[in-house]
Structure 1
């Protein structure tokens, strides 16, 4: 997730604003206020202008009515509505007869057939002379509003006397929507009085002109969210939103600079599970090997494949991340290795020592999970590498659970112990197995782990859109239904304090992974409904799997981060960070396709979440029973944003009929926070800066030994290379010519290549270039080597622009291709290619922009015959002359507005905006700032 910036006017560079922000507390489009009835000095009694079905009356003082020789000439009713007469004619007032000559009354009558929301009373007023009435008191006189007659509305004051009786009178707009009742039902009326005050002379006059009432017809909302805060349902702990770590996937470099920990903390992940899912059934915490799915207790274990310690996350490194993020520990115990290899005593001691080690380091372990998916074939014991035919069953699992529970409780007696079970809670196996487990280990089990991957093998955007609401795979139940069903089973079996948790959940694989129209935002929005259902059920622990994947194509990514940067998923998680510590309260939505969740805090704050999964923009009314809305603290929308990566926008609300309303855009998640007494204060970031230097023409980024980050890159250029789902780097193959394509030297001659096959998902290598150099960068060409290994291997190759920020370049735009390549073998001097990008309508990446390319192989005679790419590089250089730019960097928080301010003189304190960033996603932000001499800069945060 990249942060982009808005440059000051006149900037000569091509900058693109990433996140737009509009926050207006006002009547929105579709319910806009309009002039209902108005008088512009030409008449008394009936209105001069009015909306159909609305009429009115005006009464002026009995000594003065219309003075046709004086008046306001600005042609507007107050400051908002044009169309008033500019001809001099006004309603004169003076204090000679209090209660008569000092006032004007206006009445609005509703005969539209609908309810009418009164918004404002608009008028022009002038104190003609310094002795004239300077103040105006506005009050509700009488009528059908459910408020007391003579209720004060507002008193306003003239800034100065006009010193005349004709000219541009001062404009006033007095709000009526804040009254205890400001809605006129059909057939009702309301009269308001404007009384002149504070005159030095009883015969010195002022005058009103251009008086009007604005408002809007109350059109029924498309849906109503009804909230009852008196009906509290479930407390939401911070552990209800967390994620899983896989120790063998995460190298030390991933957490080295603190960036990932900052993201975790910023978006509110409350629990981190370690060492992983199925990996826990193979790992040994004090003898890690980096081979996640290989058990070092297996007599056939080969140490040759062990990873260096810097390539995986050990216990101390996990605990360091816990310290940096404040997340709760979620620690796994391996029960499978002991029983698989007949080393149970050692395995129990291993679990005990793990707890002792954590305690000795000063950590309090609150949750411990025992093995993983013990009823699935991938589990270590069930995989049966010793070929004894044995596997887990409910009775055996419960017996072992008791043994390991004693080892854990000896050190952490208050830790909550998590057993795992089948996921189909409505199936007969779940009930019978839980009955067996509870009869043996019920007194030791605190929580039961369920894993949910929506519509495994069938997941798609179209399927999600048709499920109203989202249903569990193979069931008519929602995830909320399933969690509540499991809870009911535990209670019926005599264990009401045992509750289900979900230590793994996400969108399952399916057609979405190969759908060209799918994107990260769609995946993330689908995730939000699952999360809402789990919160509605009150899960104590809910962990999205996983923090980051392992070599996934970005189009298939469904994790929190990718390549160390926040994904679309991270944005919705930030919105749900507002839920922690609050209690789910009763709520319902009146329309299909809109799903709501409401939570109230002990401090009175109310968070409302609304998911609109329909194809239409819909208006929703918020009926918040028992809540006095004093403040709309935050209001956000999570939407596509146009690039498929997800975006946050602030949204507007308006009041109508005593309730707030907002517009839910199609396919969006919306969050509104009311009455938050303790808004988060922005952090003060550390700021670094460096002079922007041009990049000479040549290699920008290149890969020749590994996937992931480039092996070589120019300063300020980064990127990522991802391989197919069945391959990573093949160390038995590779090009030995030492060049990227034909023209760029510096590639490795060692055997490392990116293998591809004609199998969908394994037929391509995707790679990106990200420009953070501070200046625009021109992309010249893609260089690479390719070998068709065998006669049956893919003999055609093609390069396309997969996605990105190049203007006028659509996803999938072809660059070049080659066909009928000769077969070559696995090693040697691969064929060299240098494919120009000059045919693209845009070859320039602005600062913070990126582009993804895809190299694919096709036309293979058999699906398993491979070829390979090697020595892949992008060439180019700085696109224009760089002068007097400095790159400013800091670590940003989600939902903040950052502005780099500049001034040439600290004494004058005359600061101007140099660079604005409206909303940031979490992570490091870098912005180039033009330097003028002398110049001073500061960073403002809102």
Structure 2
């Protein structure tokens, strides 16, 4: 974070002369079909970490660590607190409790922070000073925190948004190092990690990464060997345990901002793939700053927070930390009938505009996103497993969590500010009891209300969060879930899978999912399985379930996601290479080779964008067009492509989210071999 301061009504007339007196007048009332929500507990997602619901604290906030604030955080179920506060992290010296160039409020030192953390029952996340600090200063902090004081601070970040140090042009982050490149940062992160772990080998160290689809991700600056993430992970990856990303989606309305949570799955997946490629290992992912540009204190902020936190958790992000607990008034507007102060804080700072024309409510009054965190903590608890949930209406988002005791929670987000939604729920692999506890947080509410309901139907008020808490129809002891499956050989049509055993005497069911379509692929008594008849260039999510002799089925294993390849052999081959990237656009070359035995006359090459936010802007050496997500390049010269010949074409593309490279290219309708570079 950059340094922050302070229906229409239908009337019907009956004409007596037109209708006989003895005949009743029937007026058909047309009702909208209910939104269909399907919860599939057999399609398991990731489990909820103890740190999943987090917040940021800042040393310029005089309320940091106070009992009132700590109690509010505890009541909301906050499990993680980050310190010392965004960009202040890179000017803060913990030993002297000073931040040259910034304001430090009284009673905000590290010990006061830890007192609040402990009172709230949360865990600390500490950002060591990279910009104006040293590895020795950070190691001393670890020694004080964990050896001298016994605070047990496990998670340590090295710097905050260091890519904002001016290396790519924009500068908001302090960085006194003459060399501000990702290579310098990576080299020093390695030194920080070694020095800090020499003091306490049990800590986890995180490195700053760029968020896929957000500036300056993908940019290679002059003199660099690659993009920020490529360079940092290649050098520091072996020494760090998690990557740090931040996200502040832009937009001036609910319809602009709220759907952008769809981008999170691809963003998290791409970070993991980058770690495997450049660091040679899996690392954790932490979203240590998150907020929105619209309705920060009102219902859009709450709906965004609930949907984003749940989506990130489902994709294995171990902590998501809202920016900020307190921040201060900015500008005042009315959103969905409620006053919004454009304040990043979860709680009111009790401040007024400079001219005194508007003031926030009393200090520490919770804003709407605070209640969203409270709803999240009642929806999914540490150790619960999120499972797949889909809806038939894009304005209704659904998330579901299965608990160890067999109960199920379903959280529904109605993003329509004007109309309620009737919802019909179906369950796959789960039989709920008839009754449900229904938790609701509606527009303008000051807290969560609880009522009774049923498992199959719900009414969602406009702009609301609704959670159904369900018990199983019958309580029984289920087999243990198998461990996470692994992928061995993956081709364009097949994949070999294996998994750790669950228990003796069980049979394993293997289920695959593409989008919202979940199917059973087969079953076996062993711990490996080869699935065939897959589609090339397709991403699949796999779960394994154990079934005992009594027919009882375990919860789903943690998921495995893999992608099939392009065909290994074809009569054409394509090499896709991104040559230039400037953060929201790029240039790519495509080399097309005729690997067949006959000439290809008047060729046409097609591919489909993996996402809805990517598009073709222009191209050369072919006639380019785009329809929907499909891009077409037609031979501009009309020349035949002879056997063994290669032609190179290129285009300019743009994107407003993670720039996922296309995988499949077809020449004249034939899928080509090759892979993105």
Would the alpha carbon gap of residues 550 and 544 (structure 1) be closer, same or farther in structure 2, given more than 3 Å must change? Answer: same
Q: Report the equivalent of 2:227.
A: 432
Distance 1:388 1:249 in 2: 25
Q: Aligned equivalents of 1:639 and 1:292: distance in 2?
A: 43
Whether 1:331 and 2:109 are equivalent positions in the alignment is: no
Normalising by structure 1, we get a TM-score of 0.41
- 1:43-84 per-position Cα deviation (integer Å, ceiling 9, x unaligned): xxxxxxxxxxxxxxxxxxxxxxxxxxxxxxxxxxxxxxxxxx
The aligned residue for residue 39 of structure 2 is: 227
| In 2, Cα distance between equivalents of 1:363 and 1:389 | 31
Matched ranges for 1:384-463 at <5 A: 390-425=178-213, 427-429=217-219, 432-455=227-250, 458-461=251-254, 463=256
Kindly provide the CA deviation profile for residues 481-525 of structure 1, in whole angstroms up to 9, marking residues without a partner as x: 2112222332344644213221001013x6x68xxxxx6233323
Contact 1:241–1:270, Cα closer than 8 Å, also in 2:
yes
1:263 and 2:58 correspond: no
2:282 aligns with 497
Superposition deviation, residue 382 in structure 1: 8.7
Retained in 1: the 8 A contact 2:90–2:175? no
Deviations along 1:731-751, one digit per CA (max 9) or x if unpaired, are xxxxxxxxxxxxxxxxxxxxx
2:163 maps to 375
- Kindly indicate whether the alpha-carbon contact (under 8 Å) linking 1:279 and 1:293 is maintained by their aligned counterparts in 2: no
Q: Is the 8 A contact 1:524 1:558 kept in 2?
A: no
Is 1:574 aligned to residue 374 of structure 2? yes
- Deviations along 1:332-377, one digit per CA (max 9) or x if unpaired, are 1112114xxxxxxxx2221111111112112212110100101014
- Structure 1 pair 603–392 and aligned structure 2 pair: CA distance change class (3 A): farther
**Contact kept? 1:247, 1:275, Cα under 8 Å:** yes
Which of 465, 478, 482 pairs up with 1:669? Answer: 465
Instruction: Please point out which of 90, 94, 116 is paired with 1:321.
Output: 116
Question: How far apart are residue 414 of structure 1 and its match?
Answer: 2.2
| Contact 2:329-2:341 at 8 Å conserved across structures | no
- Residue deviations 1:617-660, cap 9 Å, x none? 2211221222232374531111114xxx6543335534xxxx61
**CA displacement 1:846-879 (0-9 Å, x = unmatched):** xxxxxxxxxxxxxxxxxxxxxxxxxxxxxxxxxx
Contact 2:65 2:113 in 1 (8 A): no
Q: Structure 1 stretch 570-579 or stretch 416-425: which is displaced more?
A: 416-425
Partner of residue 421, structure 2 = 618
C-alpha distance in 2 between matches for 1:506 and 1:370: 21
2:10 paired residue number: none
Which one has the largest radius of gyration?
1
Partner of 1:598: 400
Unpaired segments ≥5 residues, structure 2: 1-30, 221-225, 332-339, 349-362, 474-677
Which of 83, 86, 96 is equivalent to 1:287? 96
Q: Deviations over 1:265-289 (max 9, x none)?
A: 1101110001111111000001123
Is 2:331 the partner of 1:528? no
What runs of 5+ residues in structure 1 fail to find an aligned partner?
Answer: 1-218, 295-305, 339-346, 472-476, 514-518, 678-942
1:10 alignment partner in structure 2: none
SS of 2:219's partner is helix
Task: Kindly provide the CA deviation profile for residues 410-436 of structure 1, in whole angstroms up to 9, marking residues without a partner as x.
Answer: 232122211112223584338733222
Distance 2:447 2:141 in 1: 42
Distance 2:112 2:330 in 1: 24
Residue 162 of structure 2: SS of its match in structure 1?
Answer: coil
Residues 208 and 243, structure 2, Cα contact 8 Å, conserved in 1: yes
Distance 1:222 1:236 in 2: 30
Q: For 2:323, which of 545, 550, 558 is the aligned residue?
A: 545
1:441 to partner: Cα distance: 1.5
Give the match for residue 4 of structure 1: none
Question: CA 1:648–1:550 in 2, change beyond 3 Å: closer, same or farther?
Answer: same
SS of the aligned residue for 2:390 comes to strand
Partner of 2:11: none
Contact 1:249 1:312 survives alignment (8 Å): no
Partners in 2 of 1:386 and 1:271 — Cα distance? Answer: 25
1:255 is displaced (CA, Å) by 4.5
CA root-mean-square deviation = 3.4
Shift of 1:404: 0.7
- The corresponding residue for 2:477 is none
The structure-2 alpha-carbon separation of the partners of 1:651 and 1:485, relative to structure 1 and needing over 3 Å to count, comes to farther
The one of 433, 440, 443 aligned to 1:637: 440
What CA distance in whole angstroms lies between the structure 2 residues aligned with 1:387 and 1:624? 53
Q: 555, 559, 562: which is aligned to 2:341?
A: 555
Report the equivalent of 2:59. 247
* 3-state DSSP of counterpart to 1:483: helix
- Evaluate the alpha carbon distance shift between residue 244 and residue 605 of structure 1 in structure 2; reply closer, same or farther with a 3 A threshold: same
Contact map agreement 1:618 1:665 (CA 8 A) in 2: yes
Q: Which residue of 2 aligns with 1:609?
A: 411
Supply the distance in 2 between the matched residues of 1:387 and 1:324 (Cα, whole angstroms).
34
| Preserved contact between residue 640 and residue 647 of structure 1 (Cα < 8 Å) | no
- Cα 1:365–1:223 shift into 2, 3 Å: same
Distance 2:130 2:396 in 1: 43
Higher strand proportion: 1
Structure 1 counterpart SS, 2:432 = coil
| Distance across 1 between alignment mates of 2:175 and 2:393 | 55
Identify if the C-alpha distance between structure 1 residues 266 and 631 changes in structure 2 by more than 3 Å, giving closer, same or farther: farther
2:421 and 2:462 in contact (8 A); partners too: yes
Alpha-carbon separation, structure 2, partners of 1:667 and 1:385: 36
Cα distance in 1 for residues equivalent to 2:50 and 2:175: 43
Q: Do the aligned residues in 2 keep the contact of 1:470 with 1:530 (CA within 8 Å)? A: no
Say if 1:440 and 1:462 are closer, same or farther in 2 by CA, change over 3 A: closer
For residues 237 and 529 of structure 1, what CA distance do their matches in structure 2 show?
17
SS in 1 for 2:164: coil
For the Cα contact (< 8 Å) 1:260–1:565, is it kept in 2?
A: no
In structure 2, relative to structure 1, the CA distance for the partners of 1:617 and 1:386 (3 Å cut) is closer
Structure-2 residue corresponding to 1:274:
83
| Contact 2:166-2:180 within 8 A present in 1 as well | no
Instruction: Check 1:259–1:667 CA distance in 2 against 1; reply closer, same or farther (3 A cut).
Output: same
Q: Residue 248 and residue 378 in structure 1: after superposition, are their counterparts in 2 closer, same or farther (change >3 A)?
A: farther
Q: Is the 8 A contact 2:38 2:428 kept in 1?
A: yes
